[in-house]
């Protein structure tokens, strides 16, 4: 360790180093034998930067990039992460510097809630985020199940197949839908990123009273899903609408079958009790467990009456 840590906005030229550190850091933490080969199929760093460059930061020392952090602006909720530091620089204050700066970005966006996903078994992670006012909430199992033939025909619309005026209307309807679960919750930026970056599909589930559900799905290599997977980044129906949640899960499984992926990956927080139980009932099983942390200490979307799938990694 020599010079001071400098945290600055990420530039496009930083992406290779940030991606390498992302793989090395998570591979090391998870005990992967060859960290250089860890999840080469993921495009998380590039897609997050392209979606909202203003929420991407890097840490450097003596001109060398040693860490990065991202944020996702979901309107009234700002999600921090992933935050990764070169393992050679762990325990040197880099993560603390990155956390402080990304929270400054969050404050400028003025969300009602800042949230993150971290590892419950890591005392150092809990201490770091706790020192910034984050409170541990419920566990978030990241779940998966094998994709197979669809049990039911695909019974929803895809945002990508709509004409531009219909796409604009669907974006507005999605905002009204998510607002019912948490005032101001807005996934329009993420839906547009799926479209413009060709990362996957957004499912639009219709009901008797209009849009009943939405699911943002990354599909395949180079996205946040990875090779052979459909990853549900976010999905929601209206509060209390368990039957619509089942219909939305049907549509997700049908899309996975249509795209011939091998598995479906989806994170659901256990604070949403019935949503979690319903996914277990369909054969989803935990592959990784995190804990949700909030600042301030409010429930946000972690309520038993809500049917939301989301992954804050």
Span 87-138, pLDDT tens digits: 999 999 999 999 999 999 999 999 999 999 999 999 999 999 999 999 999 9
Cα–Cα distance for residue pair 184/266, rounded to 1 Å: 23
Q: Which CATH architecture has domain 6-111?
A: 3-Layer(aba) Sandwich (3.40)
pTM over 0.85: yes
Can 6-111 and 144-310 be said to share one CATH topology?
Answer: yes
Q: What's the fold here for domain 144-310?
A: Aminopeptidase (3.40.630)
Cα–Cα distance for residue pair 147/229, rounded to 1 Å: 9
Span 9-67, pLDDT tens digits: 999 999 999 999 999 999 999 999 888 889 999 999 999 999 999 999 999 999 999 99
Cα–Cα distance for residue pair 53/10, rounded to 1 Å: 7
In 126-220 the beta strands, taken as DSSP E runs, fall at: 135-146, 157-158, 200-207, 210-220
Cα–Cα distance for residue pair 174/80, rounded to 1 Å: 22
Cα–Cα distance for residue pair 158/202, rounded to 1 Å: 6
Cα–Cα distance for residue pair 10/8, rounded to 1 Å: 6
Cα–Cα distance for residue pair 194/104, rounded to 1 Å: 27
Q: How far is CA 156 from CA 41, 78, 106, 251, in A?
A: 29, 29, 34, 7
Residue-range domain boundaries for the chain: 6-111, 144-310
Chain centroid, CA 76 distance in Å: 15
């Amino acid at each position: 360790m020599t010079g001071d840590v400098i945290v600055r906005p990420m530039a496009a030229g930083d992406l290779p180093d940030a991606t390498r550190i992302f793989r090395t850091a998570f591979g090391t933490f998870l005990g992967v034998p060859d960290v250089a080969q860890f999840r080469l199929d993921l495009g998380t760093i590039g897609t997050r930067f392209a979606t909202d460059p203003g929420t991407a930061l890097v840490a450097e020392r003596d001109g060398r990039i040693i860490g990065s952090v991202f944020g996702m602006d979901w309107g009234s909720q700002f999600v921090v992460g992933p935050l990764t530091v070169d393992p050679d620089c762990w325990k040197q204050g880099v993560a603390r510097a990155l956390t402080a700066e990304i929270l400054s970005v969050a404050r400028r966006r003025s969300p009602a809630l800042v949230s993150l996903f971290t590892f419950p078994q890591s005392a150092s992670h809990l201490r770091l985020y706790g020192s910034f006012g984050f409170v541990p909430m419920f566990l978030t199992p990241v779940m998966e199940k094998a994709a197979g033939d669809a049990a039911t025909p695909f019974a929803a619309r895809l945002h990508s197949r709509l004409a531009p005026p219909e796409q604009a209307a669907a974006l507005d309807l999605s905002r009204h839908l998510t607002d019912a679960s948490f005032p101001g919750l807005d996934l329009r930026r993420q839906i547009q990123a799926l479209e413009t970056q060709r990362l996957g599909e957004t499912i639009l589930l219709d009901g008797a009273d209009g849009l009943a559900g939405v699911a943002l799905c990354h599909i395949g290599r180079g996205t946040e899903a990875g090779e052979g997977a459909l990853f549900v980044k976010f999905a929601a129906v209206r509060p209390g609408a368990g039957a619509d949640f089942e219909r939305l899960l049907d549509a997700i499984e049908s899309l996975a079958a249509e795209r011939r992926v091998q598995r479906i990956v989806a994170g659901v927080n256990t604070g949403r009790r019935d949503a979690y139980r319903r996914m277990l009932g369909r054969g989803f099983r935990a592959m990784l467990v995190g804990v949700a942390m909030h600042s301030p200490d409010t429930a946000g979307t972690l309520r038993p009456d809500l049917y939301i799938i989301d992954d804050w990694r």
